[in-house]
Structures are given as structure tokens and as C-alpha cells.
Amino acid sequence: MWAGVYRGQGAVRVEQVPTPAVGPGEILVRVEACGVCHTDLKKVEYDLLPPPRIFGHETAGVVAAVGAGVSRFGPGDRVVAFHHIPCGDCFYCRRKLYAQCPVYKKVGITAGFEPAGGGFAQYVRIMDWIVERGVEKIPAGVTFDEASFVEPVNTCLKAVEQCAPGPEDTVLVMGQGPIGLLFTMLLAQRRSVIAVTDTIESRLALAETCGAQHVWNPRVTDVAGSLRKLTHGRGADIVFIATAAPGLVEEAVRCSRPGARIVLFAQTSDKERIELPGAAICVGERVLFGSYSASIDLQRESAELVFSRKLPVARLVSHTLPLGKIEDAFALARKPTGASLKIVMHPQEIS
């Protein structure tokens, strides 16, 4: 089969590799769509993990084969799979900190080499503990491109649940790329007052159709001043930082009121550094916290949000590209333009 193989020093090459063989309790999935996630882009760009690996974890496809003992799935089933599933019984799982569970940290989907998600390949092997609890069937009428959003929707829903925004809360979402727009959609369901920022005007226009009431380009608007005017001088109640541009955490503090909750969502690299005045957190009684990866508790709900089209995720897809164009896909995702948003790979297409 063909796969986009990470070879180190930022290089991903389309190569032929063996199609994975499945063992007892496992399934083989023919990948029809896999979204390009900035977490994988960082792993490639910063060489965060040793090569060779096949990345890609926003995976939707068709069951091609099943191992001995598998009864819930059969060839032809359309499925989406989570690449991490927790044990459910360790110190961290008992506290619902699933992303810190040692089992969760083991990647359970591979297209070969060290397991790394594998969605940028034509077939993936889904291991037994993922098959048991981490695979959802895709209903008829839902496209594979739409289904590939189930995992990222889960990660965003997890962060929103941690903050529990309500109708009286003014919420700022910094960044209106695919993740920021998912936050905007989810917050619109909570009927919060939503303000968003981005430097790409087309994304701000799309944010308005997704539920944002206030859209600001920080290059031309004093965001902190605008929020104070909106909130009787206080600032935002909640801030979601949905992009990793330098200085945004500091700006989030300036835009928020005392006692606000500030969510770091995109700051996933050890190379990113943040410097804040201690009093802004201590004296200002702000809560600054991280939210990372998906929650198994929200797996069914996130799937239903996508499959029911309560979240119109299809409007976020700007490009679908064949596997042979994976370098172009990564370049588009790294340096977005007004015409680019969510990039989805179609591994069954080579060129």
C-alpha cells in the first residue's frame, strides 16, 4: 500500500509499505479520509518523535478485514476510530484525566513502524483495546470527510465542558482556524456571547455564520479594549486559545477579567514558552489551564454532534487532496490563506 512516511528533519515521503496484518480482536480499515491536524504538523516540523512513523489520526474509512473474535464489526462497515483509549481504572482515569493515563498514551492505530495514528496511509490496523471501546459506526448519508471530524470535535467539546460556559458568559476564541471555528459552533449551542479573533478576514466572515456575534482582526482592532466596552469594563469571562501564535497567552490575560478561565488548547510543543506577570494570575485570581486530546466520556456525544449535522463541519473543509500531495497539504495547513481552512487527505487517491 501507499503511505506518507515521516523520515525525519521535517520530511514526509510517499512510499510503498506493507499492508498491515491484523491479529485476534483487531480490524483492518481502508482509510477514505484523514484530516490534517496541527498536532501532527508540529511533530513533523519540530522532529518531536523519532522516525520512521506514519502520522494522521482524524481517520474515517471502511472495515476491510477483521481478526478472530471480532463480532461488532464486519467488512464493509463504515467507521471512525479514536487512536487513544484509556484503561478506565488507573489513578488518572479515576480522576477523569484520561490523557494522562499510561494506556491512553499508547497509540492503538498503526499503518506500520512505531504506532502513530497511521491515517496518512491507505490502510490502518486498529488494535484490540481500540476496537473494544474506540470505534464508532458512521451512519448512512454521512460523508467520510464529515466523519473525520469526530475526534477533533471531541477534543474541543472536552475543553468546553471543562469551562461550562453559559448564556451570561462572554467568551473570546482566539483563532478561527478549523479548531477555533469548532469552538465557535459549540459555544453557539450554549448561547454564550461569542467574540472571536483572526487575521484572515474570510475566517471572520465564516465565524459569523457559525454563531460569533463579535469578530475582530487584532491587526486593526484593540481586542482588549473592545472586550472591556462589551463587558462594562471587565473583560472576557472565558478565553479559548485555539492557535499557537507567539504572545497569545499574554494577550488572553490582558483580554480577560479577574477570575476568568483561560484555556490553553494549541500550546502542545515543549519549545513554546510563555512569560506572564505572576500578579495577573495570583492577584487577578485567574484560572489558567490546559485541555489536551479527547475524552472517552464524550465519544458518543461528539460522534452524534457530527453525524446529526448539529455542527455543520462540512463547511470547514476547504481542500481534499490525494496522498501524493501530502507535502502540499502540510504546506497549506502550516501557512493558511484566505482560501484554505481544513485540509483532508484522501489516501485511496494517489495523484
Which residue spans of the chain are classified as CATH 3.40.50.720? 156-290
Which residues pair with residue 236 across a beta bridge? 256
CB atoms near residue 190 (< 10 Å): 16
**Which residue from 52, 55, 62, 3 is spatially nearest to 31, judged by alpha carbons?**
62
In this prediction, residue 318 carries a pLDDT of: 97
Which residues pair with residue 62 across a beta bridge? 30, 78
Structure confidence by residue, pLDDT tens digits, 283-330:
999 999 999 999 999 999 999 999 999 999 999 999 999 999 999 999
Backbone φ, ψ for residue 34 (5° rounding):
-145, 120
DSSP state letters, 22-40: P-TT-EEEEEEEEE--HHH
The answer to whether 215 and 227 have CB atoms below 8 angstroms apart is: no
**For residues 22 and 2, what is the distance between their CA atoms, to the nearest angstrom?**
18
Q: What percent of the chain has pLDDT over 70?
A: 100
In this prediction, residue 119 carries a pLDDT of: 98
The answer to whether 12 and 327 have CB atoms below 8 angstroms apart is: yes
Q: Is the pLDDT of residue 272 over 90?
A: no
Grid cell digits, residue 49: 518523535
Confidence of residue 140 (pLDDT cuts 50, 70, 90): very high
Structure confidence by residue, pLDDT tens digits, 142-194:
999 999 999 999 999 999 999 999 999 999 999 999 999 999 999 999 999 99
Confidence of residue 270 (pLDDT cuts 50, 70, 90): confident
Grid cell digits, residue 19: 499492508
Q: Is the pLDDT of residue 271 over 90?
A: no
In this prediction, residue 117 carries a pLDDT of: 98
**For residues 31 and 84, what is the distance between their CA atoms, to the nearest angstrom?**
17
Which residue spans of the chain are classified as CATH 3.90.180.10? 2-149+311-346
In this prediction, residue 108 carries a pLDDT of: 98
The answer to whether 206 and 140 have CB atoms below 8 angstroms apart is: no
CATH of domain 2-149+311-346: 3.90.180.10
The answer to whether 249 and 241 have CB atoms below 8 angstroms apart is: yes
Grid cell digits, residue 269: 510543543
Give the angle subtended at the CA of 118 by the CAs of 113 and 121, to the nearest 5°.
Answer: 100
Round the average pLDDT of the chain to a whole number and report it. Answer: 97
Give the angle subtended at the CA of 296 by the CAs of 179 and 50, to the nearest 5°.
Answer: 65
Say if strands 123-126 and 287-290 run parallel, antiparallel, or are unpaired.
unpaired
CATH class of 156-290: alpha beta
In this prediction, residue 214 carries a pLDDT of: 98
Q: Cell match 467507521: residue?
A: 79
Structure confidence by residue, pLDDT tens digits, 68-98:
999 999 999 999 999 999 999 999 999 999 9
SS3 label, residue 155: helix
In this prediction, residue 225 carries a pLDDT of: 98
